Structure 1
Amino acid sequence: MQLSKFAVFVDLENCGAKVATLNSILEKVKIRGDILLGKVYGYTDKFDDLKEVLLSNTFTVVPSLRYGISQKNNADIQLVIDALEVAYKNELIDSFCIVSGDSDYTPLVGRLKSMGKFVLGISRSEAASTIFINACNEFQFLESVGKRNVEKPRKQKTNYNNEEMADESELNKLLTTVIEEQTDRDEIYASELKGTLLRLRPDFNEKAYGCATFYKLLMKLSSRFGDLRVHNDNFDVMVGLSNSGENSESIPQLTKDNWKDAFAAQIKAYKDGGFERVNPSILKADILTAYPDFNERAIGFKRFSDVMKQLEKDGLVVVEMDEQNTMLIKLL
């Protein structure tokens, strides 16, 4: 499989400039290929907490020096110039990730695509322009890029050391995410999975988890958590997601009694991630991830918009409409 070679350009003010958010963006890109070059724009002293993640990923920082309203777009212009320079001069890079939803970047996307480059756009839902979204080869909302925050309850089969369980649980979630990103395949070669894992976690070593080989580690995670399906196919080890072991009792359900708690938890997760507003479709997608059988009628509503209105009455959100008459919810 040919790995994509990415150049990543980040508008810090657009993405919210949170460490967890930036890490999630980098994880999303590294699952797809190698990051050969990265630049962030709009950097000021208020983003000092980003230093470690930027340095460890060898990103170049382009400071933001503002003077008056007329120069508010200086960082945007510099990003466009740098991206085009890379596209023309660096033949190794075949993919670009633009972290911004500003429609001003649409001509840049068009030029990159005309040069045969793949363009991945990432932005907050409240700041994403429909024009920019449609121009990209692929677009992801930041709220969806981050890790899902509402988790299914999990039955533990054996008592393990808490720290050990936490480490293996985190690894299991990461591997599950990598496989889920393979939209065109149901499973992945174990060797390919390990290669992706090493891009995400360069210090990864099976022995740290008490296993001599990656195959044994996969079998251990599969046995303990039940999310991974591991099998041999003509001497190749293949890894996919398992649907076995799930039944109506183990799948969490939303009812008229508990739905508000689930929505409140997800809204809190967005707020903790630095988001002030989100598109309701993002909220619904995250709820469906945790509760696959979710249905508005099951909790007493006809439409999802009615659910939003009830949350507004409960003081959790404020329903707003943007200039394009698209519903957004402000998190309280």
Structure 2
Amino acid sequence: MENPGGVTAKLAVLIDADNATPTVIEELLAEVARYGTAHVKRAYGDWTDPRLKGWKDRLLAQSIQPMQQFAYTTGKNATDAAMVIDAMDLLYTGRFDGFCIVSSDSDFTRLAARIRESGLTVYGFGERKTSKPFVAACDKFIYIENLRSGARARPVSSAPPRGLSDDADLINLLRRAVEAASDDEGWANLASVGHIVTKQRPDFDPRNYGYPKFSDLFAATDAFQVERRMPGGGKTAVVYARDKARTDAL
């Protein structure tokens, strides 16, 4: 993601190590790089806890700063409190364009909402068990399961998965977005469509359906025409889609 003027977004990545797995950190930071540059990378936890020993090598390899937080008493999550305090301190510096909150813990729902209230973008990273309120509080939410190196995306040339074309909620979501972004002939730039869909469903991701790209998912639904154009003789293709139902009515 870039800011107006082509400036790469400055991001702060805050990881709840008590509630995240170190095995996917490389893939996670690669995903973060799609949206901007991580100027701050911090992981919070009680590093004296043997359960966090798997983090050490990952922190060193990825230059992530470990933030020590002792558990003061049983049943209270001091790590969450420390992470929230640091997030607010970083927010008030005015140096960042967005935050990446890595946790499946719903306790960060209000933090995400507060950062957005300040006009910054919030990217959430967590497992599918993450509560809906936390997901909805983020501008975009990425499921960790989609980032695992063992995950296999569906080959683009394969047949649509059974039930995809019959998924009324998915088709209607995409159709509404295409209609909102379409020109007089019904064609919509998929980049614009993607922004509209994400605003409605922050956790929407073509990888949830087994496809690596938005355009692949569109083609697989068999409900849209998908067309690649080279505007102005450029070298980068722009992908457009049009609802087949509208085409048939012409």
| Partner SS state of residue 36, structure 1 | strand
Q: Which runs of 5+ in 2 are unaligned?
A: 1-5, 163-202, 222-250
Matched, 1:145 2:136: no
What is the alpha-carbon distance in structure 1 between the residues aligned to residue 139 and residue 34 of structure 2? 17
1:220-250: CA deviations, max 9, x gaps? xxxxxxxxxxxxxxxxxxxxxxx8xx5xxxx
Report the Cα distance in structure 1 between the residues aligned to 2:110 and 2:159, rounded to whole angstroms. Answer: 45
- Structure 2 residue 77 is matched with structure 1 residue 42: no
**Partner SS for 2:123:** strand
Q: Are the structure 2 counterparts of residues 287 and 34 from structure 1 closer, same or farther at C-alpha, using a change threshold of 3 Å?
A: closer
Q: Deviations over 1:145-201 (max 9, x none)?
A: 334623567xxxxxxxxxxxxxxxxxxxxxxxxxxxxxxxxxxxxxxxxxxxxxxxx
1:294 CA displacement: 8.9
Q: Distance in 1 between matches of 2:100 and 2:133?
A: 16
Q: How does 1:293-332 map to 2 (within 5 A)?
A: none
What aligned pairs does 1:153-164 form with structure 2 within 5 A after superposition?
A: none
Give the secondary-structure state (helix, strand or coil) at the position aligned to 1:3. Answer: coil
8 Å CA contact 1:288–1:294 kept in 2: the answer is no
TM-score by length of 1: 0.44
Structure 1 partner of 2:134: 132
CA distance in 2, matches of 1:140, 1:254: 22
Please say if residues 128 and 143 of structure 2, whose CA atoms lie closer than 8 Å, have aligned partners that are also in contact: yes
Deviation by residue 1:89-138 (Cα, 9 ceiling, x = unmatched):
2x321110001232322221222112221100111111x11111111111
2:211 to 289, 295, 298: 289
Decide which of 119, 123, 134 is 2:122's aligned counterpart.
119
Cα shift at 1:254: 7.2
What one-letter code is carried by the residue in structure 2 that aligns with 1:130? Answer: K
- Structure 2 residue matching 1:289: 3-state secondary structure: coil
Answer yes or no: is 1:81 the counterpart of 2:85: yes
Identity %: 26
List runs of 5+ in structure 1 lacking aligned partners. Answer: 154-242, 256-280, 296-332
Supply the distance in 1 between the matched residues of 2:207 and 2:35 (Cα, whole angstroms).
Answer: 22
The equivalences for 1:132-281 within 5 A come to 132-147=134-149, 149-150=151-152, 246=157, 251=158
Structure holding more helix per residue:
1
**Count of aligned pairs:** 169
- 8 A Cα contact 1:287 1:294, kept in partner: no
- SS of 1:40 mapped into structure 2: strand
CA distance in 1, matches of 2:95, 2:32: 16
Alignment partners' CA distance in 2, 1:30 and 1:254: 30
**Following TM superposition, by how much is the alpha carbon of 1:64 offset from its aligned partner in structure 2, in angstroms?**
4.0
Measure the CA separation in 2 of the matches of 1:111 and 1:254.
39
TM-score, normalised with respect to structure 2: 0.57
- Cα-to-partner distance string for 1:27-73 (whole Å, 9 max, x where unaligned): 11012211100111124343333323312333221234225324x31
C-alpha RMSD of matched pairs (Å): 3.2
Which residue of 1 is the match for residue 199 of structure 2?
none
Aligned to 2:38, what secondary structure does the other structure show? strand
Distance 2:208 2:150 in 1: 7
Deviation of residue 285 (structure 1)?
A: 5.4
1:101–1:133: 8 Å Cα contact kept in structure 2?
Answer: no
